Chain A
Amino acid sequence: MSSLGSETSTEDGGKELIGTVAGPGDDPNEFVVVTPDDQAVKTGEFISYTVPVDGTGREVIARVTNREQARGLPETFMADPNVAPEAVASTLGVPTDDIDLYRLEATVIGFYDTGMQTFSNPRQLPSPGTRLWTAPNEMLEAILPNLGVDEQEATDANGSVDLSRINVEEREGLAHMGWLLNREANAVDVHIPIDEFAATHLAILASTGSGKSYTAGVLMEEMMMPDSRASLLVFDPHGEYSSLSEMRGNGIFASDDYHPEVEYFTPENLRIRISELNVGDVMSILDNPSDRMQERLDSGWRAMQRRESRTWGIDDLLEEMRDQYGDDDSSVGALEWRLRRSIQRNDLFTTDVNVPLDDLVAPGRCTVLQMDTLGRRDQQMIATVLLRRLYQARLAAVRGRGDEEGYDGEIIEQPLFALFEEGHRFAPSTGEAPSLEIMRTVTSEGRKFGFGLGIISQRPSKIDQDVLSQCGTQVTMQIQNPTDQDAIKNSVEAAGEEVLRELPGLTPGQAVVSGDAMNTPVLIQVRERHTTHGAGSIPATSQWKQAHEQRNEQPGRTESADMGGGESTGEEDLL
């Protein structure tokens, strides 16, 4: 090995000489690097070395997974916190400059194979003495996300493969989520392919206050950019996404022929036509129907669904059931009370009004369903019915049913992406939600029909495991609850041990992105939003103070309390 001083230790593009391989590590893919302290390589940093693979020198990427001090001042020098260990060392003539040595453990990720368009493990560790560099910024930008960089793109004029020459900014359909946490701001921007997560679903998991909605906002902004123009539907149980309307007038989102549309639907215009419900949905909102009642309802509902008309109501249904079972059937009588209470008297359900799907979703339109005034069950019903209709409309479009004679169903020509805030409400692990079944269907089969789901939740352990495990791309932020960590470990395949170890230590705005959209999990700092964030914490103390001052200003509230009769006000007696 030539001496370190014979070459410059820093090259362009963030490539910096950091240390020397000391030997193999514990696992077959691990090796140990020794580095002096001043290089300050952080855990999670991507480092690279060159090995010959099939006669060609390949630049292999590895990730620093652990860091410990190999050499330093003795602990006895730190006996008195008032005395700096360096002062003791100086007195005793011990050199303090460059004395620290650090031992880094690194795991091989692999070299980027332009043929396979992903990482390939060379199955060989760097030999002791190999010098290691931080991986160049441009190269990381090109190969960390699953961008499908092929050999032709990566080959330069001289015919050699150079991944650093790929300009990610020029590519379309990418979401700029933020930058690599270990590097300076914007040194390594992480752009994830929207197509990947829109097809294989997305999960944003984090405890409250860690930036879930913020991150979702960033992704939505990216999806509404002129080079994506997504058809986006947001189920917003808390009304957190009202600020997305700022996209309308913001030049960042506009191009010559495009301005994003942002539409808001409130419960007033989110009616569900009763005929859109299926019998299972109805069962789920009735109060403990008996087996006999279920049988009556099933039969009656099927008969109604066979009818030409789609504008029937509860009265028509009851009439149908009485026709079948007689006027004095006690089960039908019991059902009548339940149906009227749960459906007929609920403003959400109508006999005729139905939101046309074309109004709801369109390319270049972000539709936010503001359901904050609705109860949980009604939110679930809306999600159930809309998802089912949208799914069938997409299925019909992909199957070409629109051209079939006699097809009168709805068709949506463009792919869809539906984002569920508080995803555990709509797909709970307890199974008690009418929306669960359709969510399972969409997550398991939606990819084929261009229907993607995004699930945002602070309780991964409370989401149905089938739904969660189908979310191919995961954005995981700070999570300290061990049950939720286990849920991620069990259901998210791409989240390895090393990623899970990071979760408790993340701060708000930092996230691990893993799964189909990435070639390897990375730690990122989420970028700033272009629109304002709508779900920040409410400053309680200032609002209390303000409210109290307002209350004091109101007349008539400051009279002293009547403490009893007599001339005394009562207060004096007490003093």
Chain B
Amino acid sequence: MSSRSTNDTGNEASTIDDCLAIGSIVNSNSHMDYTVEIFNETDRDRPPEPHECGFGQPVFIHKTIDGTEYIIMGVIYDTQLVDPDQGRSGPRLAQGDQPQFTPGYVEERTTLAGVVLLGTAEVAGDGTVNSPSQEMPRWTLAVDDVVKQCPDRIIRSFHIGPDDGLQIAYIERLLDVAGPLGAEVTLSIVERLRELFPEDPNQRVLDVVEKDVRWQSSVDRGVMR
């Protein structure tokens, strides 16, 4: 993807805790669909760059449940900008050559991201993930849970199936929850997986999946039938 950078910090993080935090959960639309407020300068010393929390960015939430450490995988499928001043702009008190007059509370403008959950994986003591499950997670997340940018090695581990082959079993759920943007977000994941699974059989399977998703979305939009 053009928005991806190969040397961003998130992808080079050696442990899960070192991964770049990109936001925190503020709301949920369903068991699978959460709204994340992206951190800004006031929240973190190192807020995420736009390309680190863009559309199609895989993310995870690190949680301990019943004594077992898990990561809950997700993907950003939607973003929204929120500006409290919208609709409140009236006659300006400031002149053109003077600084704009603003009330005392600043930086209320936020970026919200929609995150669909994809599955879970256990975190081992050495920071690697194993036992990936692409089933729907049984637990709910909490407000203020920190959402982190997912490094490539975790994305790869998460997509290895029980028979050591590539697995994308969440695809139908993703397409369903993400609605009109489902096909696009799926294709962005497929593109990421192409780089992570360069072996020929996997590439061919990804070709078939990509064609299927493209064809289905074209049919849904009425472009083809």
Residues of A whose CB lies within 8 Å of any CB of B are: 74, 76-77, 79-80, 82-83, 87-88, 90-93
Contacts and interface: CB of A to CB of B under 8 A. Distances in A.
B168 A76 contact: no
A76 B205 CA distance: 12
B134 A87 contact: no
B171 interface: yes
A227 B209 CA distance: 68
Given A92-B171, A93-B134, A93-B169, A87 B212 contact: no
Contacts of A80: 204, 207-208
Contacts of B172: 92
A92 B209 contact: yes
A8 to B, nearest CB: 32
A243 to B, nearest CB: 56
Interface of B: 134, 161, 163, 165-172, 201, 204-205, 207-209, 211-212, 215-216
Given A91-B166, A93-B134, A93-B169, A76 B204 contact: no
Contacts of B167: 90-91, 93
B215 A93 contact: no
Nearest to A90: B165
A90 B211 contact: no
Contact of B163 (A82, A88, A90): A90
B201 A87 contact: yes
B174 to A, nearest CB: 11
For the complex of A and B, 3 pairs with smallest distance between CB atoms: A93-B169, A76-B212, A83-B204
7 contacts: A74-B212, A79-B208, A90-B163, A92-B168, A92-B169, A92-B209, A93-B170
Nearest to A87: B205
Given A91-B166, A93-B169, A76 B211 contact: yes
A87 B202 CA distance: 9
B205 A88 contact: yes
Nearest to A75: B212
B72 to A, nearest CB: 18
A90 B208 contact: no
A105 B39 CA distance: 63
Contacts of B215: 76
A94 B1 CA distance: 27
A91 B208 CA distance: 11
A309 B44 CA distance: 133
Contacts of B207: 79-80, 83
Contact of B161 (A79, A82, A83, A91): A91
Contacts of A90: 161, 163, 165, 167
B132 to A, nearest CB: 11
Contacts of B216: 76
Contacts of A93: 134, 161, 167-171
